[in-house]
């Protein structure tokens, strides 16, 4: 499967501002492609997204009936540092992912990164919001075990307004 490249990670983030996630507010139909148990699967989902707190928070309820799965995306702008954090809550556990992917919008693309250690190896994870229009957008997730030189994409969501 051929993928669009992951954009270069910024050396310093563009300061975030209230309303950066306004494009996501509303009702969506989503076509997913993700790796599940080692193979690529395609399945539909839907989401409802609300902007709250004068645009410094975006709350997404994601529903994937085909996989009996749901969860919540929570995007928060730290007003003092002007950095966004993108968190996930799986409905099965109710646990908020911490610290969340931190990032910003660079040249029309939202780039959000987190680092972790997996079996002693540094792993970088990125979530990218791109192809943003008034009617559609795309979110992609990828991981890198070489500091971001190469990326393995594992989930692609094509969003279209309902």
Residue 1's pLDDT is 72
> In which region does residue 53 sit, left (phi positive, over 0), alpha (psi from -120 to 50) or beta (all else)?
left
**0.75 exceeded by pTM:** yes
Local mean pLDDT, 10-residue blocks, the chain (162 residues)? 89 93 98 94 97 98 95 98 96 93 95 95 96 98 96 97 98
Give the per-residue pLDDT at 75: 98
CA nearest neighbour of 67 among 100, 101, 30 = 30
Q: What is the pLDDT of residue 2?
A: 81
Name all domains of the chain by residue range, CATH numbers in brackets. 22-161 (2.40.128.20)
**What residues contact 11, with CB distance under 8 A and at least 6 apart?**
none
Q: State the pLDDT at residue 157.
A: 98
pLDDT of 11 reads 87
């Amino acid at each position: 499967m051929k993928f669009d490249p992951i954009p270069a990670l910024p050396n310093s983030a563009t300061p975030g501002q209230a309303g950066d996630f306004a494009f996501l507010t509303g009702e969506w139909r989503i076509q997913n492609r993700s790796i599940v148990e080692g193979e690529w699967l395609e399945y539909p989902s839907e989401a409802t997204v609300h902007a709250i707190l004068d645009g410094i928070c975006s709350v997404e309820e994601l529903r994937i009936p085909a996989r009996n799965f749901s969860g919540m995306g929570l995007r928060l702008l730290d007003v003092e540092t002007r950095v966004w954090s993108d968190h996930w809550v799986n409905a099965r556990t109710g646990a908020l992912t911490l610290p969340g992917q931190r990032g910003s919008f660079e040249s029309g693309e939202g780039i959000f990164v987190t680092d972790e250690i997996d079996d002693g190896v540094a792993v970088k994870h990125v979530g990218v919001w791109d192809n943003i229009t008034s009617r559609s957008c795309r979110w992609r997730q990828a991981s890198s075990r070489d500091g971001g030189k190469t990326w393995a994409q594992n989930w692609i969501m094509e969003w279209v307004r309902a």
